Amino acid sequence: MENYLVSARKYRPDTFMSVVGQSALTTTLKNAIKNKQLAHAYLFCGPRGVGKTTCARIFAKTINCSNPKADGEACNECESCKSFIDQRSLNIFELDAASNNSVDDIRSLVDQVRIPPQLGQYKVYIIDEVHMLSASAFNAFLKTLEEPPHHAIFILATTEKHKIIPTILSRCQIHDFSRISIHDIVGYLQHVASSEGVSAEDEALNIIAMKADGGMRDALSIFDQVSSYGNGTITYQNVIENLNVLDYDYYFKLTEALLKGDVSSALLIFNDILNNGFEGQHFITGTSAHFRDLMVCKDPATLVLLEVGASIRSKYQEEAALCTNSFLYSAIKIANDCDLAYKESKNKRLLIELALIRIAQLSDQKKNQ
């Protein structure tokens, strides 16, 4: 049986150019390599799955490349690059601080640092989840981090920068990774779908990107999951079924009922959603987000804030034209207040139903004016 490789590993970037959504940061690193202005310690911080460890590996490969390209990328052909690609490089050490967080682990690392590289200029030490190191391990690491041998470069990666002691932060060049935009994730998923021969609807990829919450690794994992569910075809319907996502149509129908002041239809839609296994709070947060999206559709200047596909965008614009600004402002406040009170409420269903009734009454008040 052929070994299957998940998309998150198969399509892991191997050059700075192929890193998605971090162009400013990768440009900074490439320029540092080209100008030979390398710091002895770097801290890569940001949310999960945005490319911290990937960039650390690309950086480690590139600074040891014998024939770097003019744009600052590694050649991928010299012995150093080949040993890295084949995962047999002796110049790159990775330590998972989540499971190697004791003083002894750090002392062992410090002992290795003294040995110069056999091939290439630098030995690179990548310490992942560095915030998991114990206080004593941090202290044992301080002196080496401040004054390492000229051949040693440390790259620390973390999702929780606030947990790292200030004395470590002051010794590092800090690079903050940002969440990857929905547009960038969708673009990369389209590339992966094309490479894998998977038929994928744009709306489906948009939902996957939203569910990934700015993380490319999460997006690729969800992509694999939904691709398996649809047997090589990714449709909007498959995605909402597999990921248990509320369909846009529910919110469009709900808003239509609320604009008419039709309380009965609104309550029946909410009941249908509950019967399909969705949580009440998930529904009310989705409702407030839907009203927010309608609000940004009212002005062409804010339309760029609507992160949905083209066909859904036209539906939003049509429904937004039916809503007044005052209705949307009040509806967002009512839905948000309901969301805030949800955890404390003893009768959660009634709380949401009252919120829907109050929103429906907004249109009644307008008619009576």
CA 179 to chain centre: 5
The residue ranges of every structural domain in the chain are 7-176, 182-242, 248-368
CATH number of 182-242: 1.10.8.60
Instruction: Provide the pairing of β-strand 123-128 with 92-96.
Output: parallel
The runs of H, that is alpha helices, within 216-324 are: 216-229, 236-242, 248-260, 263-275, 280-296, 310-322
Q: Specify the pLDDT at position 34.
A: 84
157-161: average pLDDT: 87
Q: Specify the pLDDT at position 310.
A: 66
**Tell me: the pLDDT tens digits for 92-141?**
888 887 777 778 877 888 788 888 877 778 888 888 888 888 888 888 88
pLDDT at 364 exceeding the cut of 70: no
> In angstroms, rounded to a whole number, what is the distance separating the alpha carbons of residues 59 and 19?
12
Fold of the domain built from segment(s) 248-368: Zinc Finger, Delta Prime; domain 3 (1.20.272)
The conformation of residue 91, written as its DSSP 8-state character, comes to S
> In angstroms, rounded to a whole number, what is the distance separating the alpha carbons of residues 247 and 282?
12
Residue 1: pLDDT band with limits 50, 70, 90: very low
Instruction: Tell me which of 254 and 17 has the higher pLDDT.
Output: 254
HEC assignment per residue over 187-232: HHHHHHHHHHCCEECHHHHHHHHHHHCCCHHHHHHHHHHHHHHCCC
Q: Specify the pLDDT at position 365.
A: 59
Q: Specify the pLDDT at position 113.
A: 81
Looking at domain 7-176, which CATH architecture does it have? Answer: 3-Layer(aba) Sandwich (3.40)
pLDDT at 51 exceeding the cut of 60: yes
CA-based radius of gyration for the chain = 26
Task: Report the range out of 49-53, 181-185, 357-361 with the highest average pLDDT.
Answer: 357-361
Percent of residues, the chain, with pLDDT higher than 90: 13
Q: Which of 261, 312, 254 is nearest to 284 (CA)?
A: 254
15-21: average pLDDT: 83
**Tell me: the pLDDT tens digits for 209-232?**
888 888 888 888 888 888 888 787
**Tell me: the pLDDT tens digits for 256-302?**
999 988 899 999 999 988 888 888 888 999 899 899 989 988 888 88
Within 303-357, strands assigned E span none
**269-277 own/partner pairs: CB under 8 Å, 24+ apart:** 270/352, 270/353, 270/356, 273/246, 274/349, 277/244
Q: pTM score, two decimals?
A: 0.76
Which of 13-27, 98-112, 143-157, 225-239 comes out lowest in average pLDDT? Answer: 98-112
